[in-house]
Structure 1
Amino acid sequence: MSGNLPPKVPHVFDDAYRGAIAAVLEEQSPNDLIGAHQFRGSERDRVAGAAFVARRLPHSPDPDRMIVCNGTQSALTMLMTGLVGRGGALAIEALSYPTMHQFAGMLGIELCAIPMDEEGILPDAYEATCRNRKLSAYYAMPTLQNPTTAIMSVSRRQTIAEISRQYGVAIIEDDIYSLLPRDVPPPLSSYAPEISWYILGTAKAMAAALKVAYIVAPSPDAARSRFWPGVRATYWMSGPINVATVSQLITTGGADAIIDAVRAETVARQAMVSQRLQGASIGALPEGLHVWLTLPPELHRDRFAASVRELGAEISTSDTYLFGEGDAPNAVRFGTGAAPNRQEFERGLNAIVDAYNR
C-alpha cells in the first residue's frame, strides 16, 4: 500500500498491447526501427506525443517542441542538470516527491522548500524566496500533488506563473497524475509556456513500467539545445520499439481504453476507502492513486504505520515527503493501485482501518 502505481487491468491492457506490438512489427522493419538512435523520438512518435499531451494542454504543441523520454525520472534528471546545474537552487513544495532528494544530492542541487496550504505552494512564500534567492527552476506538481493530493486552483496557477515569469524561474511541471481525473484545471505550464517544461508520463495512467514520458519544451530551439546527442548527463532516450508501441496505442485509441479501465478500477477502490474510513480526515480524489490520511493527535504517524505493518501492510509516513526544516504533519500516505487485485487491496485496506480504529 506504500506505492501509488496504477491498478493492473489485464482484461483491457493485454489485448490492446499485443495488438499494438503486432501492428508495429508488421508495419515497420524491426532493424530500421532500432538500427539508429532516436534522441528526441522519431517524427511519428513526437506527433503521437503531441496528441497525447493535448489531452491536458489547451492546444496540441508543435511536434518539434516534443521530446520523448525514458520515463519521467529521466526527464527530471535531464532538466535539473540542464536548467539548474551543480550549485544551483530549485524550488519545491515543503512536502513533495521524495526521489527529488536523491536527484538533488546526485546532481549537487540545493532544494528550497516552500510552505504550502491545501492548494499547494503559497504565492507569498514563493515570491519571497524568488526575491531573496537565485532560483533557477521550480518543480511543480499542481494536479493531485504527491503526497497531499492538493489541486491548485486556476487563480493560484496564474499567480505562480506570473511570479515565475517576473523572476525568470523556469517551471518544471510534473503532470503525471492528471490523466485519470476527468475535471481538473489546465496545467500550470499553459499560463507561462515560454518558461515551462511540461512533462506528461504514462506510468501512472496506463502501466507502471511502460516508461514513456513526453516533455513539451518552451520552443523547438530549446528542445534541441537541451536534448541533443552531446548531452550525456543521463540516458533519456526511450527504447524505439516501446515508444512505437505506445504511439500505436495513442493513434488507434488503445491508450484511451487502458486509461478508462485504470480509472474505473481506481474509482472502485477509492469508493472502498471512502466507505471504510468515514469520518476520517482524508485527502483523495475518486480517480486518484493515493490517499493522504491526517491522523488525530493521539494517534502518532509512526505508531500508526507500525500497527499497519503488524497487520500485514506497508504505508508511508509524512516524513518520507518532507523537504526543509520543521516537523512533518501527523499524516500518512497510502496507494490504491499497487495491490494486484481488489481482494488484495481490501486486505491492505482492512489493515489500515483496523489500525485506525484500535
Structure 2
Amino acid sequence: MILTDKSNALLNMSGNLPPKVPHAFDAVYKAAVQNVLEAFAPNELIGAHQFRGSQRDRSLGARFLGRRLPQVPPADRVVVANGTQSILMMLLAGLVGRNGRLALESLSYPTLLPFARQLGFQLSPVAMDEEGVLPDHFEAVCRSERPAAYYAMPTLQNPTTAVMSIERRQAIAEICRQYGVTIIEDDIYSLLPKNVPPPLSTFAPEISWYILGTAKSLAAALKVAYVLAPTARAAEERFWPGVRATYWMCAPMNGSVVSSLIEMGAVDVVIDAVREETRARHTLVADRLGSANMRSRPDCLHVWLSLPANRPAIEFVAGVRALGVEVSVSSTYAMDNAPPNAVRFGMGTPPDRAAFERGLAAIADVYL
C-alpha cells in the first residue's frame, strides 16, 4: 500500500521539525499577537527597521537565552534575527570569509555545504565518536589547517544525535582557545531535553557566538533566533545596519510576538507539549524498531538509523520511498565524502500521530 496523504504527495519524514501541537500553541499565539496589537501602534512597530531587535526584544531574547546559560546575559550582547540560517550566514561571512576555513564534524548540518560554496570558504571535517568531535583529531586539524571558526552542535547533534559530555566540551573549548578558533555554537535542539550539559560556549565565552533558535522547540516557521555575541561591541560590528545584502533582520511583528510568548510564560506551555508529543512518537519507534541499530533519545527530533552492510542506504531510501515515505540518506550530511551506511528520519513532519505511525510502518517494513 502506498503511504501518501490526500494530495498523493510523499509523507515527509526526512525533516526534523517539531510536531505540531495546536492544542497548546494556537491559544497562546493568538494571545501574544493580541498583546502586541494592544501594546504598540502598528505603524510605529512596523514602519521602520529595528536593527538587531528592539530593546524589549533583545531583553526578552536574553531571558530566552538564559534558559540554557548560567545566567541571563546582558541585552546589549544579544541580536534578534530572522532564524538560525540568517545568523550563520552573517557569522560565516564575517568570521570565516572567502578562502578561510571552518572546522566541523565529519557529519553535520547540510546547509553548511552551500554556504561554503556561496561564501568561498573551505571545510575542515573532524572525526567523530558517540559524543561528537574527537579532541585529538580536532586539535590536529586546528594545528595543521588553522580554521578560523568551529561550527558546533554539541547537544543532540544533527544528524547523529550525539551529546557531548561536560569533560569533552571543556576539552574542545580549551583547544579553540589555544589555537584562536572562534566557536559558533548552534544549540537549537537543546530546549526539549531536560537534562543536558551547559552550552560549549559557557566554557569559552570570550571567543563564542551562541545561537538559540525557536524553530525546533516552538514552531518551525516562527523564524526568530537569538545570538549572543562575545561582547556588545562585537554584536554591533558583526550585525550593523550597513550589511544589507542578506535577510538577517527579524520582522518587528514577528520578534514582538515571540517576545510576548516569552513574557507571558507561554514558551513553557508550547515546549512541554512538543516534548510530550515527541516522546509519544519515540515510544512508537521503540515498539516498531526496538531491535534496530539506532541512536536517539525520547526528546530528540530525529533518529539516526544504522543499516546492515547488505542493505545500502541508497537502496533503503528507495525502498521506503516506494512505500510513499521520504527519509534522509547519510550522504546528505557527509562533509568528508565518506558517509556511513545510515539514514535519518524525523519525528515531527507527519501532521499527526496516525500519519507518523504509517510512515514508521514503511521504515520498519524495509528495515526488518
Q: Tell me the residue number matched to 2:318.
A: 306
Alignment of 1:185-204 (within 5 A): 185-204=197-216
Q: Tell me the residue number matched to 1:103.
A: 115
SS in 2 for 1:58: coil
Q: Tell me the residue number matched to 2:19.
A: 7
Identity level (%) = 63
Whole-Å separation in 1 of the counterparts to 2:290 and 2:175:
39
Preserved contact between residue 81 and residue 233 of structure 1 (Cα < 8 Å): no
- Deviation of the 1:279 alpha carbon: 1.1
Residue 256 (str. 1) matches residue 243 (str. 2)? no
Residue 29 (str. 1) matches residue 41 (str. 2)? yes
Whole-Å separation in 1 of the counterparts to 2:322 and 2:260:
45
Whole-Å separation in 2 of the counterparts to 1:27 and 1:140:
38
Whole-Å separation in 1 of the counterparts to 2:248 and 2:309:
44
Preserved contact between residue 127 and residue 163 of structure 1 (Cα < 8 Å): yes
2:221 is aligned, of 202, 209, 222, to: 209
Deviations along 1:203-256, one digit per CA (max 9) or x if unpaired, are: 000110000000000010110111111123412111001110000000111111
Whole-Å separation in 1 of the counterparts to 2:291 and 2:247:
47
Residue 234 (str. 1) matches residue 260 (str. 2)? no
Q: Tell me the residue number matched to 1:124.
A: 136
Residue type at the aligned position of 2:73 = P
Whole-Å separation in 2 of the counterparts to 1:233 and 1:131:
34
2:355 is aligned, of 327, 340, 344, to: 344
Structure 2, unaligned runs of 5 or more:
1-12
Alignment of 1:6-155 (within 5 A): 6-155=18-167
Q: Tell me the residue number matched to 1:289.
A: 301
Whole-Å separation in 1 of the counterparts to 2:89 and 2:270:
28
Whole-Å separation in 1 of the counterparts to 2:297 and 2:72:
27
User: After the TM superposition, which parts of structure 1 deviate over 4 Å for at least 4 consecutive aligned residues?
Assistant: none
SS in 1 for 2:325: coil
Whole-Å separation in 1 of the counterparts to 2:283 and 2:230:
39
CA RMSD in angstroms comes to 0.7
SS in 1 for 2:326: coil
Whole-Å separation in 2 of the counterparts to 1:83 and 1:288:
30
- Deviation of the 1:95 alpha carbon: 0.2
- Deviation of the 1:133 alpha carbon: 1.5
- Deviation of the 1:296 alpha carbon: 1.4
Q: Tell me the residue number matched to 1:335.
A: 346
2:196 is aligned, of 172, 184, 188, to: 184
SS in 2 for 1:50: helix
Whole-Å separation in 2 of the counterparts to 1:134 and 1:183:
34
Preserved contact between residue 124 and residue 145 of structure 2 (Cα < 8 Å): no
Deviations along 1:145-185, one digit per CA (max 9) or x if unpaired, are: 00000001100000000000001100000000000011110
Preserved contact between residue 51 and residue 60 of structure 1 (Cα < 8 Å): yes
Preserved contact between residue 98 and residue 121 of structure 2 (Cα < 8 Å): yes
Preserved contact between residue 171 and residue 195 of structure 1 (Cα < 8 Å): yes
Whole-Å separation in 2 of the counterparts to 1:293 and 1:56:
28
SS in 2 for 1:225: helix
Whole-Å separation in 2 of the counterparts to 1:148 and 1:270:
16
Q: TM-score normalized by structure 1?
A: 0.98
Q: Tell me the residue number matched to 1:322.
A: 334
Residue type at the aligned position of 2:356 = F
Whole-Å separation in 1 of the counterparts to 2:146 and 2:311:
40
Whole-Å separation in 2 of the counterparts to 1:180 and 1:35:
35
- Deviation of the 1:316 alpha carbon: 0.7
Whole-Å separation in 1 of the counterparts to 2:294 and 2:321:
20
Deviations along 1:247-278, one digit per CA (max 9) or x if unpaired, are: 00001111110111111000000111011101
Whole-Å separation in 1 of the counterparts to 2:245 and 2:334:
27
Query: How many residues are treated as equivalent by the alignment?
Result: 356
Deviations along 1:283-316, one digit per CA (max 9) or x if unpaired, are: 0010110000011112211111111111110101
Preserved contact between residue 82 and residue 226 of structure 1 (Cα < 8 Å): yes
Q: Tell me the residue number matched to 2:4.
A: none
Whole-Å separation in 1 of the counterparts to 2:153 and 2:286:
24
SS in 2 for 1:242: helix
- Deviation of the 1:82 alpha carbon: 0.7
1:168 is aligned, of 170, 180, 185, to: 180
SS in 2 for 1:144: coil
